[in-house]
Amino acid sequence: MPGPLGLLVMLAVWAVVAVLTVNWWSLDGSPSLSASPRGRDVLQKELLDRQGAVLRNMTIRVQTAEQALVELRQQHLELKQKQDEELSKRRSDKALAKRGGGAPAPAKPPESPAVPAPAIAEASASESRGESETEEEPSEEELEQQAQEEQRKLINYNEATKSFVRNRPDFKCGSRVPLLPDEEVVECAAMGPTPCCSGLGWCGSTNAHCKCATCIDYRSEPGGAKAR
């Protein structure tokens, strides 16, 4: 038995044959056939044009029907495949349920050993003591000692020979920093680019460093200092 597409094609062919037959009958029985040959040619041309239009129309309809049929078949195949997959999954689930199988349960993480309460309290107390000790500010003596140690490094102090330089590389001088080991104030390099010590304790070469009332210009006298 032919399918839907075959039936559609057969109907289209029958329709075309019927139209052609009717047109030829009308042509044979038309009184205009006995007219001039020119009139007969015009009538035949009109008949052929109508037949061509009918054929084109039927061709378009057949093509549209074929495309629709192909899409229906594709949808049917996809639906059937989906149903088969669902059925297979259900059967697999039933088989696993009967055997008592399934995915293994996740392993529990190991439990950490319990810490006694006294140990926790002692650890908290130790942390508190450490934080309090860290937060305590150093005393004035400790600060002064740190400043002395820092200055000895900056002036290249030699404990064995008791030698040192009289100026610091960070340009601090005067009362801004601790005294030198010989109980004199830190100076500025007289032969350097910053030979003067300002009243604020910084070495420089401007008028604010060399010409103020409390400034010291270490270039004024060789090996000495002069207050201005």
Number of structural domains in the chain: 2
pLDDT in tens, 115-155: 555 556 566 666 666 555 556 788 888 999 999 999 999 99
**Does the pLDDT of residue 72 top 90, yes or no?**
no
Q: Is residue 164 part of a domain?
A: yes
- The answer to whether the CB of 226 falls within 8 A of the CB of 217 is yes
Rounded to whole angstroms, how far apart are CA atoms 34 and 150?
136
- The answer to whether the CB of 204 falls within 8 A of the CB of 198 is yes
- The answer to whether the CB of 183 falls within 8 A of the CB of 162 is no
Tokens 């270490």 correspond to 218
| Domain ranges, residue 210 | 152-228
Q: Is residue 108 part of a domain?
A: no
CA dist 224 → 131, 136, 166, 187, 217 (Å): 50, 43, 11, 10, 9
State the pLDDT confidence band at 197, using cuts at 50, 70 and 90: very high
Q: What is the pTM of this model?
A: 0.39
Answer with the one of 76, 97, 118 that is the final residue of a domain.
97
pLDDT in tens, 172-184: 999 889 999 999 9
